[in-house]
Amino acid sequence: MAYQIGQARKKYKVFYRTVYALESDNKDAKLFNCVQRGHQNSLEMMPMFFVLLILGGMGHPCVSAAPGLVYIISRYLYFTGYSTGDPQNIL
Protein backbone atom coordinates (compact mmCIF):
# COMPACT_ATOMS: atom_id res chain seq x y z
CA MET A 1 0.00 0.00 0.00
CA ALA A 2 2.88 2.36 0.65
CA TYR A 3 3.93 1.88 -2.97
CA GLN A 4 0.48 3.03 -4.12
CA ILE A 5 0.85 6.16 -1.97
CA GLY A 6 4.11 6.95 -3.75
CA GLN A 7 2.48 6.40 -7.13
CA ALA A 8 -0.48 8.59 -6.14
CA ARG A 9 1.92 11.36 -5.07
CA LYS A 10 3.49 11.32 -8.53
CA LYS A 11 0.18 11.04 -10.36
CA TYR A 12 -1.61 13.81 -8.45
CA LYS A 13 1.53 15.94 -7.91
CA VAL A 14 1.40 15.96 -4.11
CA PHE A 15 4.89 16.47 -2.73
CA TYR A 16 6.43 14.73 0.27
CA ARG A 17 5.89 16.13 3.76
CA THR A 18 2.31 16.86 2.74
CA VAL A 19 0.10 14.26 4.41
CA TYR A 20 -3.20 15.33 2.88
CA ALA A 21 -3.73 17.48 -0.20
CA LEU A 22 -5.84 20.63 -0.05
CA GLU A 23 -8.50 21.15 -2.68
CA SER A 24 -7.46 24.78 -2.98
CA ASP A 25 -3.97 23.65 -4.08
CA ASN A 26 -4.81 20.57 -6.14
CA LYS A 27 -7.89 19.67 -8.17
CA ASP A 28 -7.23 15.95 -7.57
CA ALA A 29 -6.95 16.36 -3.81
CA LYS A 30 -10.00 14.20 -3.10
CA LEU A 31 -8.60 11.23 -5.03
CA PHE A 32 -5.18 11.49 -3.40
CA ASN A 33 -6.76 11.84 0.03
CA CYS A 34 -8.82 8.69 -0.55
CA VAL A 35 -5.64 6.73 -1.27
CA GLN A 36 -3.95 8.24 1.78
CA ARG A 37 -6.93 7.60 4.09
CA GLY A 38 -7.22 4.00 2.93
CA HIS A 39 -3.58 3.44 3.83
CA GLN A 40 -3.84 5.27 7.16
CA ASN A 41 -6.90 3.24 8.12
CA SER A 42 -4.97 0.02 7.55
CA LEU A 43 -2.07 1.31 9.66
CA GLU A 44 -4.45 2.16 12.50
CA MET A 45 -5.78 -1.40 12.56
CA MET A 46 -2.41 -3.19 12.38
CA PRO A 47 -1.32 -3.06 16.06
CA MET A 48 -4.53 -4.70 17.24
CA PHE A 49 -4.33 -7.24 14.41
CA PHE A 50 -0.73 -8.19 15.22
CA VAL A 51 -1.41 -8.55 18.95
CA LEU A 52 -4.41 -10.79 18.37
CA LEU A 53 -2.61 -12.82 15.71
CA ILE A 54 0.41 -13.39 17.97
CA LEU A 55 -1.77 -14.35 20.94
CA GLY A 56 -3.79 -16.76 18.84
CA GLY A 57 -0.70 -18.09 17.11
CA MET A 58 0.94 -19.06 20.39
CA GLY A 59 -1.70 -21.67 21.05
CA HIS A 60 -2.97 -22.48 17.58
CA PRO A 61 -0.55 -21.35 14.86
CA CYS A 62 -2.21 -23.11 11.92
CA VAL A 63 -5.70 -22.04 12.93
CA SER A 64 -4.52 -18.43 13.35
CA ALA A 65 -2.76 -18.36 9.99
CA ALA A 66 -5.96 -18.77 7.94
CA PRO A 67 -7.86 -15.82 9.48
CA GLY A 68 -4.64 -13.79 9.33
CA LEU A 69 -4.39 -14.38 5.59
CA VAL A 70 -8.08 -13.55 5.10
CA TYR A 71 -7.60 -10.32 7.08
CA ILE A 72 -4.60 -9.25 5.00
CA ILE A 73 -6.40 -9.91 1.72
CA SER A 74 -9.56 -8.15 2.90
CA ARG A 75 -7.58 -5.07 4.04
CA TYR A 76 -5.96 -4.85 0.61
CA LEU A 77 -9.33 -5.16 -1.13
CA TYR A 78 -10.75 -2.48 1.18
CA PHE A 79 -7.79 -0.23 0.35
CA THR A 80 -8.18 -0.66 -3.40
CA GLY A 81 -11.91 0.06 -3.17
CA TYR A 82 -11.42 3.10 -0.93
CA SER A 83 -8.70 4.43 -3.24
CA THR A 84 -11.16 4.86 -6.11
CA GLY A 85 -13.04 7.61 -4.27
CA ASP A 86 -16.38 5.95 -5.05
CA PRO A 87 -18.32 4.90 -1.91
CA GLN A 88 -19.91 2.02 -3.85
CA ASN A 89 -16.50 0.35 -4.26
CA ILE A 90 -15.73 0.10 -0.54
CA LEU A 91 -16.26 -3.41 0.81
What separation, in Å, do the N-terminal and C-terminal C-alpha atoms of the chain show?
Answer: 17
Q: What is the mean pLDDT of the chain?
A: 88
Alpha carbon of residue 37 to chain centroid: 7
Domain ranges of the chain: 2-13+30-89
pLDDT digits (tens, 9 = 90+) for 27-52: 888 888 889 998 999 899 899 999 99
Residue 20's φ and ψ, nearest 5 degrees, are -125, 140
Per-residue pLDDT at 21: 85
Cβ burial of 60 (10 Å; 0-12, 13-18, 19+) is exposed
